[in-house]
Structure 1
Amino acid sequence: MCYKDIREKVKRIKNQYESCNPLTIIKELNIVPAFFAQDIADELPDGCYFKSEGIAFILIDSTLNEHERNITYAHELGHAILHPDVDTLTLEKYNKNLVQKYENEANIFAAELLLDDNICHNYQGYSAHEIAKSEYVSVELVRYKYNSLYKSNFTFKNYA
């Protein structure tokens, strides 16, 4: 899937739910948000999306701060929207390249959801680090947003 397709999907979702808050959209989609048990948080990534018996779940690490939670919810929502039937935790054992592609797409989704299209104009002359700090996101998401705005026909294949 290319940046442009993901951008369009996120725009439709923002308009449909009149929100860019990932937790609001998660709840509207009847996805169950929950926290990992404290004793297994170190063994898992910051969050994960999966389905069980037809019910969609997003689990995140309870030790994350508010801004980290927001980023993680946005990323996992990306998996729920873009890869609704894929269990990346299991898939990683068999196809790391495909998992990396899905992770990149979920990051693009998160960047599109959390960062406005005017970001480069609003922060003209700022570094990616300064923008990230001001917007309470990771530098990685700022870079994904920049690429989304300026390389919209780029498609991830075997990106590592």
Structure 2
Amino acid sequence: MDWLKEIVNKEIKKHRTNNPFEIADHKNIIIRYFPLGNTLGFYMKNVRQQVITINCDIDDYLMMFVCAHELGHAILHPNENTPFLHKNTLFSKAKIEREANEFAVNLLLYNKNMQDYETKFDVLRENGIPYEMERFL
């Protein structure tokens, strides 16, 4: 999706980084850490404050991807409440998750030369991106 890449590029140029933690900080998005069991993280907007919650029990590489994914929600879907959407509307929760995943992959791989890697899985592994995101390369 070209529009999504344009948004990623705009955010990176505006904040001069592709680090999701730094971008969230520049955008005054609160990041908090809690043990969440099997949940990796989630995004919510409470009143006017955007909050990303990340599972404190996951490794640093995965934490970077989770932050990038949730930042995707904060930028692309700032007012969406996914549990509400899932139960009460026809808007696709899967579409929102796909867009956030693609945002995260594009953000974390910004300015990476794919020729430097032998396989797609090397790209994913070395950048802390789950293998399931291979389709967004």
> Same fold by TM-score, threshold 0.5 exceeded?
yes
The 8 Å contact of residues 75 and 106 in structure 1, kept in 2 or not, is answered as: yes
Q: Does 1:143 align with 2:127?
A: no
CA distance in 2, matches of 1:54, 1:21: 23
Gaps of 5+ in 2: none
Higher relative contact order (CA 8 A, sep 6+): 1
Give the Cα–Cα distance (whole angstroms) in 1 for the partners of residues 128 and 79 of structure 2. 30
Q: 1:96 to 1:141 in 2, by over 3 A?
A: farther
Where structure 1 has 5 or more consecutive residues not aligned to the other structure, the ranges are 147-160
Alpha-carbon RMSD:
1.8
Q: Can you list the C-alpha shifts for 1:49-90, whole angstroms capped at 9, x where unaligned?
A: 111121110001110111111000000000000000001133
Contact 2:61 2:127 in 1 (8 A): no
- What are the superposed Cα offsets for residues 25-61 of structure 1, whole Å, 9 maximum, x if unpaired? 001100100013x3xx12x631111111211100011
- Count of aligned pairs between the two proteins: 137
- TM-score, length-normalised on structure 1? 0.78
Report the residue type matching 1:6 in the other structure.
L
For the pair 1:57 / 2:51, whether they are aligned, the reply is: yes
Aligned to 2:39: 45
Give me the TM-score of the superposition, normalised by structure 2: 0.90
Pick aligned residue for 1:31 from 29, 32, 35: 29
